[in-house]
Amino acid sequence: MINEPVTIASSSIEHEIAPIPENFDVLSKIDKEITNAPIPDEQHIFVAQPHHYDEPLIPVMSDGNSPTINSNINLLTGSDLWVYRPHLKEEVELEQQLSLANDATVMQMDDALLNQLVLGDSLILSLPNKGTQQIVIASIQREKNDVIIWGLQNSQRQDIGKITQIREIKEGSFITDDKQEYHLRTVKNKGWIASKDQLIDNNNQAITNNKQPFSEQFLSVK
């Protein structure tokens, strides 16, 4: 004869509390050790590749940043990516259909040097405020329709910006080590480079110059 399992009414235990285990202190210590365990180093984080079970696991970057270039930094001393040409101010304004408040921002880029750069090449860029910034070529992407993108890093191998070439136009932006933001634009290698503050100032001047009421402008023309 098979004995039926004994059932206990829930009402008889709903207010009871289980006793603390004898090894509670040991369990608590283990839990803290697991919680406070350091995060594994990036090179020890692995991910399996789907549908390739015969291949080894490969490491993946966990911070989302661009991988560090493997080549050494090759500092090209005496090489300027651009030089300042104040006398080209009118030509640049006509070419780009704009008004530059400061001719000290007008520059001419060395297109031949830019296209000769390889990964790891490094230059000291001269800035409009007489400062400098070291940049390292971290990546070069060649797209269709004559599009080239140079990825820039600082000497600490941190991503700071890029320069993009689309046929005869080059545009770029980067952040210096002192957290200043600069923008540049050239057409046929002639153009300007300016800080974010200079761009804002130029914009404010343009707004001020266009505040004159339309009626007054019309009367002045007559």
Q: What is the pTM of this model?
A: 0.61
Tell me the H-state helices in the chain. Answer: 24-35, 89-96, 111-116, 196-209, 214-221
Q: Over the stretch 167-215, which tens digit does the pLDDT of each residue have?
A: 999 999 999 999 999 999 999 999 999 998 877 766 665 556 555 554 4
pLDDT tens digit sequence for 52-83: 333 333 333 333 344 445 557 888 888 899 99
C-alpha distances out from residue 163 to 81, 139, 173, Å: 12, 11, 7
Task: Report yes or no: 80 and 126 within 8 Å, Cβ to Cβ.
Answer: yes
**Partners of 109 in the beta sheet?**
82
Contacts of 121 (CB under 8 A, 6+ apart): 74, 76, 136, 137
16-50, pLDDT tens digit by residue? 555 666 655 655 555 555 455 554 444 433 333 33
pLDDT at 216 over 70: no
CA distance 150 to 165: 9
pLDDT, position 154 = 94
Domains delineated in the chain: 74-202 (2.40.128)
Q: What is the pLDDT of residue 56?
A: 37
